[in-house]
């Protein structure tokens, strides 16, 4: 049976060499270091199973504004109730508040990570718990900030109940079977960016005032459920972006006040790129659904789609529209009847691109979309199309009244 040894620190002045590193080096494996309030020198390295926790508030581990504040090279390391600040500012060396490298079953909880280029860098680290932390970056321009949490070749981690503000991104690359749950992301570039990462779950997160809420690239078998994606910033902002994804579930999300609610980019030559978009509320966006090129292999069922300027946009010239299941969505622009009162319209809801379709392909023209001239063209084109309209999507069983979705 392993005995836990308790170390109680008296106040340590920052002017001393590095007594915290000495205590770490001298502690037996699986010891617990309890630190009283004070400022402790950072740039420490942990090479054994160990717990470091703040005995009280205002326990600050302060870096030297170079490299990493804490480097963890061992499994079973826990950091709790600490303020960790002042990493270096070099992207190439991934200067971070905490780096966990080739280590498993570590934990970072109830910490504040401040003025550090990257917050937490997981590098080939599995079964890590990151919970109840506040993470922000340095005050650089957004493209020169680091990621709040950078997850690289790391699997089976849990990221929950964190507040992430004013960083660049939070990224998962070649990382599978991770749970990202109940986090708050504000004022970032790509709040959540998954690339070539599979079987991940993004659940009950709040994403607001980011350039892009959730971005998936070449990811598959991923669930995006019960998230709130609001008010993405910028003329080209997106709530959720899916590029060359396979077997993706979007369910019970609320996607509002974005330039584009959901953007889907799929090559028509690729097989198996299926997406299920179920029971979401997509509202108050400039474009609810934007398909780049092919509209293929989508199941779009049971969504409330309303108060958008455009419900569906096809932003590239392509006639590829097939293998879709699109039904039982509520569209506020549907103008049909429901004679038998089953809440399913008597006729299908067809969405066309009319004379104004040019703006979907030319961003310079898009600038004038809300002008009186374009409004007049839209009105006339709907009354009597003077070019042949293009059918881009049809809901064969549209709902007359919106669903009461549990979000």
pLDDT tens readout for residues 353-382: 765 555 555 555 555 555 566 666 666 666
12 versus 347: the higher-pLDDT residue is 347
What pLDDT sits at residue 323? 80
Give the count of alpha carbons within 13 A of 342, CB side only: 8
- Whole-number Å distance between alpha carbons of 372 and 131: 51
User: Is the pLDDT score of 14 beyond 80?
Assistant: no
Q: How confident is the model at residue 235 (pLDDT cuts 50, 70, 90)?
A: confident
Of 130, 199, 142, 132, the residue nearest 169 (C-alpha): 142
Query: Over the stretch 49-63, which tens digit does the pLDDT of each residue have?
Result: 999 999 999 999 999
Beta strand 179-181 with 184-186 is: unpaired
Hey, where are the domains in the chain?
Answer: 1-165, 227-353+389-407, 355-382
Number of separate helices (H) and strands (E) present in the chain: 4, 43
Structure tokens at 221: 């078998």
Q: Does 220 have pLDDT greater than 90?
A: yes
CATH architecture of 1-165: 3 Solenoid (2.160)
Distances (CA, A) of 309 to 49, 119, 173, 260: 56, 38, 34, 10
| Rounded to 5°, angle at Cα 233 from 227 and 237 | 75
Q: How many residues does the chain have?
A: 407
Q: Between the CA of residue 264 and those of 239, 246, 328, 384, what are the distances in Å?
A: 11, 11, 20, 31
For residues 274-281, average pLDDT:
94
pLDDT at 1: 38
pLDDT of residue 53: 97
| More confident call, 83 vs 373 | 83
Which of 11-15, 25-29, 86-90, 151-155 has the weakest average pLDDT?
11-15
What Å distances lie between residue 361 and 2, 65, 314, 366, CA to CA? 66, 47, 8, 8
- What is the chain's alpha carbon radius of gyration, rounded to the nearest angstrom? 25
Q: How confident is the model at residue 320 (pLDDT cuts 50, 70, 90)?
A: low
In this predicted structure, the answer to whether residue 238 has a pLDDT above a threshold of 60 is: yes
């Amino acid at each position: 049976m392993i005995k836990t040894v308790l170390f109680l620190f008296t106040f340590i002045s920052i002017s001393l060499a590095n007594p915290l590193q000495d205590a770490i080096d001298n502690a037996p494996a699986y010891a617990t270091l309890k630190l009283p309030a004070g400022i402790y020198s950072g740039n420490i390295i942990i090479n054994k199973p160990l717990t470091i926790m703040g005995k009280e508030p205002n326990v600050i581990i302060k870096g030297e504004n170079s490299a990493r504040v804490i480097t963890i090279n061992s499994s079973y390391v826990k950091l709790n109730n600490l303020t960790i600040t002042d990493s270096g500012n070099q992207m190439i060396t991934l200067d971070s508040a905490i780096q966990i490298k080739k280590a498993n079953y570590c934990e970072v909880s109830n910490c504040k990570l401040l003025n550090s280029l990257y917050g937490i860098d997981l590098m080939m680290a599995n079964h890590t718990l990151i919970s109840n932390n506040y993470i922000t970056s340095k005050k650089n321009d957004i493209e020169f900030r680091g990621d709040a949490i950078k997850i690289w070749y790391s699997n089976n981690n849990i990221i929950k109940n964190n507040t992430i503000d004013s960083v660049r991104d939070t990224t998962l690359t070649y990382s599978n079977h991770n749970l990202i749950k109940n986090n708050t992301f504000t004022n970032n570039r790509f709040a959540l960016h998954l690339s070539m990462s599979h079987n991940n779950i993004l659940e009950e997160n709040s994403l607001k005032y980011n350039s892009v809420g959730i971005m998936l690239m070449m990811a598959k078998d991923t669930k995006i459920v019960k998230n709130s994606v609001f008010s993405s910033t910028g003329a080209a902002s997106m709530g959720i972006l899916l590029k060359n994804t396979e077997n993706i579930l979007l369910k019970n999300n609320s996607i509002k006040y974005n330039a584009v609610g959901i953007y889907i980019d799929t090559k028509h030559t690729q097989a198996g790129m299926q997406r299920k978009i179920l029971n979401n509320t997509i509202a108050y966006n400039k474009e609810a659904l934007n398909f780049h090129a092919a509209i293929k292999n989508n199941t779009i069922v049971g969504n409330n789609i309303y108060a958008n300027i455009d419900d569906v946009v096809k932003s590239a010239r392509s006639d590829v529209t097939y293998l879709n299941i699109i039904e039982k969505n509520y569209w506020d622009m549907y103008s049909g009847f429901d004679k038998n009162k089953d809440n399913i319209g008597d006729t299908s809801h067809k969405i066309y691109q009319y004379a104004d379709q040019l703006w979907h392909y030319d961003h310079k023209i898009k600038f004038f979309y809300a002008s009186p001239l374009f409004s007049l063209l839209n009105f006339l084109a709907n009354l009597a199309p003077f070019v042949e309209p293009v059918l881009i999507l049809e809901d064969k069983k549209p709902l007359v009244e919106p669903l009461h979705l549990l979000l």
